[in-house]
Structure 1
């Protein structure tokens, strides 16, 4: 497995070793022992989530606060997305940094998003099935978010603004400067 450190402390892009032949392919998508050795992170995943989205659907930027903060290991099972992580940990040396990566069924890349980061993605292909492991359970009272088009981040979502499909809830999230963190 190839692991690339990103400009966010504790955030990694992982590329599995894929074994292909005329029958198809095989790869190990997660191995706790190898993951810990390569990244130094020791998440204990307790919840898996999956979503399906059409082209232009933007989900994010979301996070969980306090004791319900979540680290995520995300990947795409079908299609392609632009995946985005933002470091919102005030004590982090990478506070306010943004990482983007194209994740797809074809490239089989994954992103590990550590606790204390906001996360989101936009679907670039006609459809996408997005899968992620969480190291903590979802808690509605602890959810938070940052506005997807916050001018401080200058995120290029690749899809034209007029083509984005965003939930009403995500359209009214606070800006980075307005977010109250624990």
Structure 2
């Protein structure tokens, strides 16, 4: 597999090398020791989630507070989607910057989203299915939501008509509002520094 860091530090695109014959194909989606060797970051999944969405569904931008923190290994296993990661780590040299990739079942390409980085996607096909391998189990009340249509972020979703959004995502705060509320992790916290005290 080819592992390449994106413009958001700590976020990687992983492209598998496929073995193809008349039956179809085979590839490794993740090999933890190879991922750690290339990136210097261990990744051991402890929870796996799937979501299925109709075409032009927009989900995100989502993250998890630190603590507990959560890294994601995201793969489209059916259909196709436009995937975006956003640096939400206050003090990061690329705070507010984003990286866009098309993930589709044919390529098997995946995106690794480190702690403190937000993630969202727009489905490009009907019945698109995305798989999240997660470094920590879900803890109620720790999710961070950022409005995916935040004008300051100006994310290039590329939709031709208004996307289907949940009420939660539609009502989510902007990055500026989340910063003012103190809900975003700092660059230091996301990279192994001291965790803030949760009140």
- Indicate the TM-score class for this superposition, using the shorter chain for normalisation: over 0.9
Q: What's 2:168 paired with?
A: 169
Q: CA deviation at 1:49?
A: 0.5
Q: CA deviation at 1:139?
A: 1.4
Q: What's 1:83 paired with?
A: 83
How is 1:1-182 mapped onto 2 (pairs within 5 angstroms)?
1-162=1-162, 164-179=163-178, 180=182, 181-182=184-185
Q: CA deviation at 1:44?
A: 2.1
Q: Is the 8 A contact 1:55 1:126 kept in 2?
A: yes
TM-score, structure 1 length as denominator?
0.95
Q: CA deviation at 1:100?
A: 0.9
Q: CA deviation at 1:55?
A: 0.2
Question: Counterparts of 2:45 and 2:92 in 1: how far apart (Å)?
Answer: 23
Q: CA deviation at 1:161?
A: 4.3
Question: Counterparts of 1:23 and 1:39 in 2: how far apart (Å)?
Answer: 33
Q: Which runs of 5+ in 2 are unaligned?
A: 186-199
Bigger shift: 89-98 or 7-16? 89-98
Q: CA deviation at 1:82?
A: 0.6
Bigger shift: 77-86 or 150-159? 150-159
Q: CA deviation at 1:126?
A: 2.1
Q: Is the 8 A contact 1:51 1:130 kept in 2?
A: yes
> How many residues in Structure 1 have an aligned counterpart in Structure 2?
181
Query: CA offsets per residue over residues 92-135 of structure 1, 9 Å max, x none?
Result: 22211111100000121100000001111110112201001010
Secondary structure of 2:14's match? strand
Runs of 4 or more above 4 Å deviation: none
Q: Is the 8 A contact 1:73 1:112 kept in 2?
A: yes
Question: Counterparts of 2:69 and 2:12 in 1: how far apart (Å)?
Answer: 18
Question: Counterparts of 2:40 and 2:67 in 1: how far apart (Å)?
Answer: 21
